[in-house]
Structure 1
Amino acid sequence: MADRDTISNPDDEIHSASELEAVFDVPVKVQAVLGKARMEVSQLLRLSPGAVVELDRRVGEAIDIYVNNRLVARGEVVMVEEHLG
């Protein structure tokens, strides 16, 4: 099993974190999609702080995690102290 300073890949090769240092500064776009909604631009412009937008998912359903627009995982929203995680 790999420890904190090593990373394994599907070919069972172990690499130290220092070997991967070149990619540590590569920017990636990460999105956690809670749900989606469709609305007209006029409705969008009428939104104000505190407005409620109904999404296409229910409470407790998995959220989608995208990295560079590619679905990589599904997860759930949890409360950690007074913050969402």
Structure 2
Amino acid sequence: MLEDVPVQMSVVLGSSQLPIRQILKMGRGALIPLDCGYDDPTEIYVNDKLIARGKIQVAGDRMSIEITEVMKRSR
């Protein structure tokens, strides 16, 4: 019964604020600096609610996330 319930999952590596004029000037291969470092935790959201944090793992052309912390349920 639950197998067909849709959920939206987002993995947030970091964020950045840029003026629209700068975004419009970007071309293919442009780099966008993020407000995080290499070892900073990545946040995992389900239906816009933070549920866990983790670390990005890269192996060849595959990327995955290792869960390092599960958030406590709020009541």
Q: Same fold (TM over 0.5)?
A: yes
Aligned-CA RMSD value: 1.0
Give the corresponding residue for 1:30.
9
Structure 2: which amino acid aligns with 1:62? P
Structure 2: which amino acid aligns with 1:83? R
Larger strand fraction of residues: 2
More relative contact order, 1 or 2 (CA 8 Å, 6+ apart):
2
Unaligned runs of 5+ in 2: 65-75
Shift >6 Å, 4+ stretches: none
Structure 2: which amino acid aligns with 1:58? G
* Structure having the higher Rg: 1
Superposition TM-score, scaled by structure 2 size: 0.78
Superposition TM-score, scaled by structure 1 size: 0.70
The aligned length equals 64
Unaligned runs of 5+ in 1: 1-21
User: What is the percent sequence identity of the aligned residues?
Assistant: 33
